[in-house]
Structure 1
């Protein structure tokens, strides 16, 4: 099966099981730089919404951009090669 396209990787999904929508961006499936996909997922994010970024490494360079744009984040390392960053409005 082919890897997800950029649009599919950034599609909105309710992964919380609650009324708060979570948009998931799995950067591992994106060919090339995922920055624009991450920013697209953050566009028009509801006040109570979140973006779950899944990556194969800790995306430290992204943190300063998120803070500058008014977002906060919580990072966890799920496995040796899987990092999860939950992003919300500050």
Structure 2
């Protein structure tokens, strides 16, 4: 099975995005990657990612756009 990269943009979400992010993480295969697009740096998410065995790299693309590349550690 080949690796995939999913993209989840939560900037326009009316509800807190944690459930959508959690679902996307649960669906990640061992070699898959998730690109999370957010309007701010999602610092509270980092501890959750580490506890669940993910590594991440965050890039500030614009004042109101952050990309977090997430994969299994």
Q: TM-score, normalised by structure 2?
A: 0.92
Task: Give ranges in structure 2 of 5+ residues lacking alignment.
Answer: none
Which gives a bigger RCO, structure 1 or 2 (Cα 8 Å, sep 6+)?
Answer: 2
Q: Extract structure 1 runs of 4+ deviating beyond 4 A.
A: none
Matched length: 72
Task: Give ranges in structure 1 of 5+ residues lacking alignment.
Answer: 1-18
Across the aligned residues of Structure 1 and Structure 2, the Cα RMSD in angstroms comes to: 1.0
1:36, 1:23 → 2: CA distance? 16
Q: TM-score, normalised by structure 1?
A: 0.76
| Pairing 1:77-88 to 2, within 5 Å after superposition | 77-88=60-71
